[in-house]
Chains A and B, each alone.
Chain A
Amino acid sequence: MKYQTTEEQYRIMEESQNALRKINENKTKKRNSLEIIQEGLQKVTTGSEFFECYDSLFWEGKVKIDMLYFDQLLHNLEESEEIYKVLGNYFKNIRNIYEFVNLKPEIYGKSLDFTILEQSSDIQHQKLSNIIYEYFDRNFYSLTADQRCERYLEKTRSLSKQLISEGVSPDESISFSMKTYLVESLLQKIAFPFAIWSRIGYLLESDDYRKVFDQENLVELVDSFKNKTHSLAKIIAATV
């Protein structure tokens, strides 16, 4: 074996030192899994890149599609100025929330998009009927009595109690309360599909949001929406 020159030895030493330095740098750079998870959670909760900004064109489309839902939910109810007034205020409230949180209006329903507006009334009717049916099936009809009780008993107790105290029979009270709750939940999903509602929920609780935005006004708007939805749900539950 040939002996290396001093120059070569120095070169090899320098290369080895560089390699060692890189290894050490990588070691210090490594983050623990908790940091990675926290960073991921932060991205999910703030939704910084996921949500698009409010767009009035999308709002117009959403109103048209949501009204198709209401056509079906209110088909047993006689048309009156009163109900249009209620719906007018209801939609205004929803729009205010979308504008407030500056989120692009979304529509409810699996594989439903704005192209439905270009289709015939029959197809529109059919598609939305399926979505409503699937909702009730998933959340009520497909459940056993025990499952229904477990899921809705607490949530409907207050309204049932109130109806019973007003003289309505217990069976009717429980049945109406459950129907109201299910409709109310559907209306809320139609107005604010899952991702949007989650985002609103996050903003309602976020300390960072409170530091910069009028969070109290958002709370008021959302409370008002919940009250209107509850009232509307009772009207619909009484007619279906």
Chain B
Amino acid sequence: MASQVLMVYNTLQKNIQADPSIITQIHKELSKIVSDAYTQSMKSDEGYCFKFTLPITSVLNLFNILKLDQKLVGKSFQIDWKFPNHAIMYNDPYYQVLLLVLYLGLQRKDNQMVNNSLLVLLQKLWNGRKYAYFKWCDKRIMNYVVNHMVSQKHNVAKYDTPLALLKDYFVPTLLKKYAPEIDKDIFRLRQLFMQSWARLDQMFSFNPVIDARTGEKKAQGGLLPLYMKAKAEGLYQSTPKVLKNDDDESSIDQFSTVHNRDEIATSTTDYITMNVKPSYPSSFIDDVRKNTKVSAKIIEQLVTHVHNHKQYDIIHDLITLILSRTNVDDKNDLTSSIFVNSVKRTIISSKNTDDVRKLQKLLSILADKIFTEKLELDYNKYGKAQQMQICNVILYCLIYNLQQFARK
């Protein structure tokens, strides 16, 4: 039996021969849809909780451009693919028209048409999968999962946004695998469609195992179990705040300085907290040991535990205070020896200013947390003078990371 979808495609071919502007119109419509998706993605701060505003009308308008009957196309797909009437996804004209355009692009060797049609198709699949697993997605938790819990090999760790992931990973890999087969047999569109769904689904959840106690099926891999774990443990990544005195009246210059400092502070804090397996050279450890008299073993443990996302806010505040006290508002200033001398003069040797007192208090809170939670030592057993030495280990660690970040 002849393929019904192929017959629809042959009709389309005739329509294009009669009106070649159809190709231009398809390009125009798809480009507009993709461009809108970019704009949405750039404006969004939802990260991997992002949901596309679907261009349903624009996509369905493709039937008019192609001069094809929506119902006839739907029937053709149903006959060829043999799905029941209630199979909502397969019956969706949104997917059907985009698959037809994709096939058209493949036949015409029009990569832009192929890529754009598949990208728009994947947008709706993304929304569906995201809704299935994360009806109420907390972007702070998702940010934490993406930045700290997934392996570096996971795709979400490699691509900043869902749009980038779809465009730069899913579109090329799916086409590489299925385009040659579809080119030979239009029925293979079904395989591409099913695999697109399956691969996206796998990203959210895979390897389900039945819990012996509850009888519930629980995914072992993908974003979902990590998200649930982070949620249960109260882990999330908040948007860092700028330390600012409400009483101050800021001029434009002051605002610009605060803005630059905040940028350095935020980037360096990200650099520290995201690097969960830091490696410090022995020369650094030795220098800190000479300066603080704290044993090398404890220094190594202390500086390692600073790299923990739970400490994000406190590290951000500390770096902001260091930059403010040393009057640094340019990344390049961090690499000079003047900066280190300035830290020694204005922070380590200075004790009677509000900033330094605040800094010492924050360092003490952080040191106490690490001592109690990680080293199982009682920070309060050490006198004020010794606590100061312990705090200076963390201070040197932050200075080192500020400089490392600036040199990057």
Contacts and interface: CB of A to CB of B under 8 A. Distances in A.
A129 interface: no
A129 B66 CA distance: 111
Contacts of A201: none
Interface in A186-240: 208-209, 211-214, 217-218
B281 interface: no
Interface string A45-66: 0111111111010000000000
Interface stretch (A6-14, A16-24, A97-105, A159-167): A97-105
30 contacts: A46-B381, A48-B384, A49-B383, A49-B384, A50-B383, A51-B384, A51-B385, A52-B385, A53-B388, A56-B349, A100-B293, A101-B293, A101-B385, A101-B386, A103-B385, A208-B378, A208-B381, A208-B382, A211-B298, A212-B294, A212-B298, A212-B390, A213-B294, A213-B295, A213-B298, A214-B289, A214-B294, A214-B295, A217-B293, A218-B293
Question: Considering residues A47, A103, A208, A214, which has the most beta carbons from chain B within 10 angstroms of its beta carbon?
Answer: A214
A56 B344 CA distance: 12
Most chain A CB neighbours (cut-off 10 Å) among B289, B349, B378, B384: B384
A231 B378 CA distance: 40
A48 B389 contact: no
Interface residues of B, number: 19
Nearest to A46: B383
B377 interface: yes
Q: Give the most central of B289, B386, B389, B390: most A CB within 10 Å.
A: B386
A56 B349 CA distance: 9
B332 interface: no
Contact of B385 (A53, A208, A218): A53
B143 to A, nearest CB: 35
A51 B293 CA distance: 17
Interface in B347-399: 349, 351, 377-378, 380-386, 388-390
A197 to B, nearest CB: 15
B106 to A, nearest CB: 67
A46 B385 contact: no
Contacts of B377: 208, 211-212
B95 to A, nearest CB: 64
A48 to B, nearest CB: 4
Interface of A: 46-54, 56, 99-103, 208-209, 211-214, 217-218
A70 to B, nearest CB: 27
A50 B378 CA distance: 19
Contacts of B381: 46, 208
Nearest to B383: A48
Contacts of B382: 46, 48, 208-209, 212
A210 to B, nearest CB: 9
B294 A48 contact: no
Contacts of B298: 211-213
Given A53-B351, A56-B349, A102-B293, A213 B385 contact: no
The 6 closest A-B pairs by CB, nearest first: A102-B385, A48-B383, A208-B381, A53-B385, A214-B295, A100-B293
Contacts of A100: 293
Nearest to B392: A102
Contacts of B384: 48-49, 51-53
A211 B390 CA distance: 12
Given A51-B383, A51-B384, 10 more contacts: A46-B383, A48-B380, A53-B388, A102-B388, A208-B377, A211-B298, A212-B295, A213-B298, A213-B386, A214-B289
A47 to B, nearest CB: 5
A52 B388 CA distance: 10
A169 B61 CA distance: 120
The listed residue with most A CB atoms (<10 A of its CB), out of B294, B377, B381, B383, is: B383
B289 to A, nearest CB: 7
